[in-house]
Each structure stands twice: as structure tokens, then as C-alpha cells.
Amino acid sequence: MRYVIDPPTLPSIPVIGREERFPVRRVFCIGRNYAEHAREMGASVDASAPMFFCKPADAVVTDGADLPYPQATVNLHHEVEMVVALKTGGRDLDAHQAAEAIFGYGVGLDLTRRDLQAIAKAKGHPWDVAKGFDHSAPVSALRMASEVSPGAETEISLQVNGTLRQCGHLGEMVHSVVDIIKTLSTLFELKPGDVIFTGTPAGVAALERGDRFHAELQDIATLDGKVA
């Protein structure tokens, strides 16, 4: 097929132990999936109504690339999250189908222009410009689900310049990975290549130019980078 302009490059994520990369179709995120984080943001959790938003696929940053400090903000926040990549999809999935859809796991940062988010919240506007900006989704290499099985005691953490900022366990999530996938499949037709950020524990704070970060999903994946 020929196009009137060059088509964009397909974003992709490395896979641990494989030469092939995981192609990214779409990036879904869930908000307020850890109660302590919701409280630190002055919000409450409605377990019956999970809150989702999206980032563009080309917001994904991989392979240890530096993160350029984004424009239009003076308050860039980190949110460390487990990332789940899907190998299959569908609509209205049951629990078994949701579990079987998982290709692998990684760790990433849901970067947020917090000042723009605060303005949007005050006005009742969408969060798109606060969440879906360029380079807002750094992600580690993926560990295949056939090799690991994250559990309730699996720790997720973030250090900035060697100081621990965030630390939690997956068992603290309000909505489990399977439940997130099931619910998303009632709102969208999920497809191979979809990536899901699963929420952040408490401790979110600002990143500054020159900061170095180390994110870790215990015994599964690590992500190191620098804010340029």
C-alpha cells in the first residue's frame, strides 16, 4: 500500500530474552487503583466504577532513552505502575479469557503534568493534556507471562536519585489485572498490542531536570532513566 506521506513508525517494547519486540497498538491506563494514592490526591475510590484514560501509543519510551522535560508544565509528576501487555483481545471477556490474553509484564511511569491536571479538574475538563503528552509513558522491557506470575506480595517501587519515593504491593490494587482487562473489554474491543498501566501506589511527587530514576517490579522488570 502506498501513502501520501510516510507512515509513522510503529512504537514497540523490547521483550526480555527475545530478539523480537512487542508492537504497541494502544495504551490504556486506570486511575485511582490504589486507595492510598487516591487519598493523597484528595479523591476517593469507587470500586464499582473504575476510571480509565488513554495515552497515545507513541508516548511510549523504551530502551533507556532520556525523557525530555515536557513543555507547558512546571510540575511533572512520576507515577510508577505495573504494565501489562496483551497478546489477544476481544469484547466482554470472562476471567479466564482475560488472564489468557496477557503476553507479559513490565514496569513503567505514568508521567503527569500535575499543574495542567489540577486546572482540568477544577474546570471539570478532560485530563488529556495532563496525561497524554509526548514521552509520557516510559516502559521497561517486558517479561513474558509464561515465565512469571506477579502476585499480591509482589512489590513495585520507584527511586529518584537513589531515594525511595514510592513503594507498594500489587495486593493493594483495588481492581486486579484480570478485572481491569475484563472491564476494559466491556468498553473497547481489546486487541493484540494493547498495553495497560495498572495504577500507582502512594508517594507521587515531582521530577526535575537531571533527575535519575529506577523503577522496579520485584523479580520481574526494572526501568532506569534520566529526565533530560
Predicted confidence at residue 225, as pLDDT, reads 97
Whether 160 has a pLDDT exceeding 90, the answer reads yes
pLDDT at 42: 77
Confidence of residue 159 (pLDDT cuts 50, 70, 90): very high
* 194 conformational bin, left if phi > 0, alpha if psi -120 to 50, beta if neither: beta
CA dist., res. 195 & res. 118, Å (int): 26
Residue 50: what are its φ and ψ, rounded to 5°?
Answer: -60, 145
Q: What share of the chain has pLDDT > 70, as a percent?
A: 100
Kindly report the average pLDDT of the chain as a whole number: 96
Distance of CA 62 to the CA centre of its chain: 13
DSSP string, 79-102: -EEEEEEES--BSS--HHHHHHTE
Stretch 82-107: mean pLDDT: 98
Is there a contact between 139 and 61 (Cβ–Cβ < 8 Å)? yes
Identify the pLDDT of residue 167. Answer: 97
pLDDT in tens, 24-55: 999 999 999 998 887 887 777 778 889 999 99
pLDDT at position 169 is 97
pLDDT of residue 60: 98
Grade residue 75 by pLDDT with cuts at 50, 70 and 90.
very high
Query: So what's the pLDDT on residue 49?
Result: 86
Q: What is the pTM of this model?
A: 0.97
Q: Which helix (H) or strand (E) holds 55?
A: strand 51-55
C-alpha cell of residue 73? 508544565
Average pLDDT (101-110) is 98
Write the CA distances from 42 to 37, 121, 202, integer angstroms: 9, 12, 12
- Cell numbers given for 141: 522491557
Predicted pLDDT at 61: 98
- Of residues 13, 7, 6, the one with CA closest to residue 60: 13
pLDDT of residue 41: 79
CATH 3.40.640.10 given to domain 23-46+53-226: no
pLDDT of 38 reads 72
CA–CA dist 165, 222 (Å, integer) = 15
For 42-56, 119-133, 134-148, 159-173, which range has the lowest pLDDT when averaged over its residues? 42-56
What residues does 169 pair with on adjacent strands? 155
